[in-house]
Structure 1
Amino acid sequence: MKSSIHNLVAEASLDQRREIAAVPRVVIQAFCDSPDAMEAIELAAQDRLMARARVTVHSGGAASAVQALQSEPTPSLIVVESRDPAEVLLSQLDRLAEICDAGTKVLVIGHTNDVAIYRELVRRGVSDYIIAPVDPVTVIAAISGIYSDETSDKLGQVYAFTGAKGGVGSSTIAHNVGWMIGHRFGQDVILADMDLPFGTGSLDLNLDPAQGINEAIQDVNRLDSVLLDRLLTKYDHHLSLLAAPVSLERTYELSGDAFDPLLDIAQASAPFTVLDIPHLWTSWAKNVLTLADQVVITAEPDLANLRNAKNMVGFLKQVRPNDPPPKIILNRVGMPKRPEIKPRDFADAIGIEPIACVPFEAHLFGTASNNGQMIPQVSAKSGVSDILARATQVITGRKDTKRQKGVRGLSQLVGKFTSKVKNQ
């Protein structure tokens, strides 16, 4: 049964996931009449969008809920699955209403597709009614919808960029994608440099910030949208940098949830937040990768990158079962005299097609780095600029409002540079 549920979830589009806001910190108790519903809710409880909620699943339907809650405080939300006839279900819900606190919400999973039943349930104060069979995404969407007023400010998308190895250019890709989102889509972007001792965000953007991300995580009790705005360094009208301290005077031993408050406030403050995560494997890095809306892994076409990328993809699929797999970008493809794994073989090995193959252009990237510029600022008409622009569209799901005529498709560019690699 578990595999069939995962197949249903796999069919959910990325757009559907984007419309679902994270569930707030609530206590949820579910009472299920069938093992299928129990499994769907248990899987939903493991999703990153439900990370703040505390979920308990019981066997038995509405009658079990009445019996269990007579002697204990009622939770924030009660989920009830019932296969009983309508008159029996309504009677049990009336009994449940007598013992529930005034603020308790109720979600009913029914097996009858009847608008009359739905209207009667709404009249009795039921928050929502969904039809079985249900999958985890449907359950999460229903619960999120119930708390939509409390989560309506969580509109921003969080993109986490990390490398399969250190030094593969993940930071450069992240900074360019963040710049392109702001420049080409006209959207506000927060670029958070999370490499606290060695971050390059301020160098790549040619900024000299006085404060940044370290202050944001030092005293989370003071952190709010006003303080975050003060800590940001403006690059242009749309892009702002939350800079790393880049100091070796102290070490940074952080808890697993150290960045959670920052991510919450950033999501509420900007449509897009780009996280530049260093190549390390700590509790906080794993947590941030798990919670992000999308993960982008940058890798070079060699064996160590292949192994690491495959391991990271496997981990992320396990902890994010209801999300699309991470995006893969192959960087420095076609480096002269270097033996490489062909992009096709790399994709087959990890089971994911790269969204971009960025060619090795030492002079272009070196010039951009030394000048504190983005690739399109150095060479707007270069093939690399086109590839990064297309990758940005794939990551965000948005069309380029400032795209120039004659820009080649990603598949054409990937094909060109793949052919170049094959001929070397």
Structure 2
Amino acid sequence: MTNLDYEIEQDPRQEAPEPVSERAEFDRIRPLPRISVHAFVESDGLAKTMERCAQDRRMAKVNLRINSGGVSAATNMFAGSPTPNLLILETRADARTLIGELGDLAEVCDPDTRVVVVGHVNDVALYRDLVRNGVSEYIVAPVSMADLIGVISAIFVDPEAAPLGRSIAFVGAKGGVGSSTIAHNCAWSISSLFSSEVILADLDLAFGTANLNFDNDPTQGIAEAVYSPDRLDEVFLDRLLAKCSEHLSMLAAPSMLDRTYDFSGDVFLPILDIIQRNAPVSVLDVPHVWTEWSRKVLCAADEIVVTATPDLANLRNTKNLFDTLRKLRPNDRQPLLILNQVGMAKRPEIAPDVFCDPLDIEPLAIIPFDAALFGEAANSGLMIGESAARSPVAEAMSQIAHVVTGRAEARKRKKAGLSSLMGLLGRK
């Protein structure tokens, strides 16, 4: 079968008005967040319905691609590439064949990808089998626009459901360790490697550098969201976001000192909540401060990445952060550690294994000191993956992106005795 394999552009033209009953159903559906959807269709009817769905305003933020073929076509396509947030699969196969095909698809499917099956058999037993096997929904053809958009909305917009997105907070153990640079590069890597929609929020309102690193100077950003909480909704958020690349948007900091930025404890939480409901991944660039609001942001994040350089002050601060966050988040995974600027000439350093010993962890990544590489990228407004795609640092950013999005596991710490540095920390 010929692969259609095209992306849908928003088209203001409508083929025909929807029936009154269907319009009433649409009135109850909220706009969908920034998600990627691949549909694999076997009939012209579903293909046309998907095309019309793409033209609906509720799908304006959705990156939709329509492909010809069924479950096996999806398995072949994603054997060598990441899967989107949602797969819509049309099939005419019988129950046994379908379950087998879905088993093959599961082997190449990312764990957080949702699946909707459009079948041609009204079979309650099949529906139950599919749900037991992890399928989010089974609907029987023919399906309408309201059916399809309603199903997607029920999966991703249900107000009772947990937020859609995964939030990843990056924070430095000390100022100047490169946490912001790593956060920005990681956000770009996630968006480009996985074609996943990412929102980067620069929470350092006074001295944020995201706009510089992306060579983008928007007139509005996160300050407007902070100081206008009553206006905060999907439409207002969309107006504040600056586009950095095809799948990456940014809430930039103003980087101006015309006012002070003294915040209450909960000021960023409504912003983070609406970001998570509008993008599968949100990267939070948290400045090196310890305030009520920064503590609450770190507590609310799904994943925390601490960046440190290999010296004693960084070790002390990192251990304090790890110990405090373990107490504040007893049921969450412990923070991840990145050792940055390792191997700086003439600087006395603590060896990575000695640094990690009192923390009882393995570093997520060890990034070498390379002033020329990072300086050239920063001055050009480019990410490392753009300016030096084949460099070891670019590969490290890719590995970080895989781990923080749950596509790979961090290395587990081998059992070892505590370092004598524990004594040094106790005396400081």
Match of residue 230 from structure 1: 239
Shift of 1:399: 6.1
Q: Could you tell me which of 366, 378, 382 is aligned with 2:387?
A: 378
Q: Could you tell me which of 208, 229, 248 is aligned with 2:217?
A: 208
C-alpha contact 2:338 2:363 (8 A) present in aligned 1: yes
Alignment map for 1:187-202 (pairs within 5 Å):
187-202=196-211
2:269 is equivalent to residue 293 of structure 1? no
Structure with more of its chain in helix, by fraction: 1
Match of residue 166 from structure 1: 175
Deviation readout 1:326-376 (Å, 9 max, x if unpaired): 000000011111110000011102122110000011100000111111001
C-alpha contact 2:306 2:337 (8 A) present in aligned 1: yes
Distance 1:346 1:391 in 2: 19
- CA 1:365–1:181 in structure 2 vs 1: closer, same or farther (change >3 Å)? same
Distance 1:320 1:250 in 2: 33
Percent of aligned pairs sharing the same letter: 55
C-alpha contact 1:390 1:410 (8 A) present in aligned 2: no
Match of residue 221 from structure 1: 230
C-alpha contact 1:331 1:357 (8 A) present in aligned 2: yes
- CA 1:338–1:178 in structure 2 vs 1: closer, same or farther (change >3 Å)? same
SS in 2 for 1:151: coil
Shift of 1:149: 4.8
Match of residue 80 from structure 2: none
Deviation readout 1:17-44 (Å, 9 max, x if unpaired): xxxxxxxxxxxxxxxxxxxxxxxxxxxx
SS in 2 for 1:329: strand
- CA 1:358–1:226 in structure 2 vs 1: closer, same or farther (change >3 Å)? same
Q: Could you tell me which of 367, 382, 390 is aligned with 2:399?
A: 390
Match of residue 327 from structure 1: 336
Shift of 1:391: 1.4
Match of residue 351 from structure 1: 360
Shift of 1:213: 0.2
C-alpha contact 1:158 1:274 (8 A) present in aligned 2: yes
Distance 1:200 1:339 in 2: 28
Shift of 1:208: 1.2
TM score, norm. by length of structure 2: 0.58
Distance 2:411 2:395 in 1: 8
Q: Could you tell me which of 290, 293, 297 is aligned with 1:284?
A: 293
SS in 1 for 2:347: coil
SS in 2 for 1:315: helix
Shift of 1:150: 3.3
User: Where does structure 2 lack aligned partners over 5 or more consecutive residues?
Assistant: 1-156, 413-428
2:314 is equivalent to residue 305 of structure 1? yes
Match of residue 260 from structure 2: 251
Shift of 1:152: 2.5
SS in 1 for 2:186: helix
Distance 2:159 2:204 in 1: 32
SS in 1 for 2:272: helix
SS in 1 for 2:207: coil
2:193 is equivalent to residue 180 of structure 1? no
Distance 1:323 1:239 in 2: 27
C-alpha contact 2:362 2:411 (8 A) present in aligned 1: no
Deviation readout 1:82-139 (Å, 9 max, x if unpaired): xxxxxxxxxxxxxxxxxxxxxxxxxxxxxxxxxxxxxxxxxxxxxxxxxxxxxxxxxx
Match of residue 369 from structure 2: 360
Counterpart of 1:362, as a letter, is: A
User: Where does structure 1 lack aligned partners over 5 or more consecutive residues?
Assistant: 1-147, 401-408, 412-424
SS in 1 for 2:199: strand
2:216 is equivalent to residue 241 of structure 1? no
Counterpart of 1:331, as a letter, is: N
Shift of 1:388: 1.2
Match of residue 261 from structure 1: 270
Shift of 1:237: 1.2
Match of residue 349 from structure 2: 340
C-alpha contact 1:193 1:199 (8 A) present in aligned 2: yes
SS in 1 for 2:400: helix
Counterpart of 2:289, as a letter, is: L
C-alpha contact 1:175 1:201 (8 A) present in aligned 2: yes
Counterpart of 2:258, as a letter, is: E
Q: Could you tell me which of 324, 340, 348 is aligned with 1:315?
A: 324
Distance 1:234 1:341 in 2: 40
Distance 2:279 2:310 in 1: 34
C-alpha contact 2:344 2:369 (8 A) present in aligned 1: yes
Counterpart of 1:258, as a letter, is: V
SS in 2 for 1:358: strand
Number of residue equivalences: 256
C-alpha contact 1:181 1:392 (8 A) present in aligned 2: yes
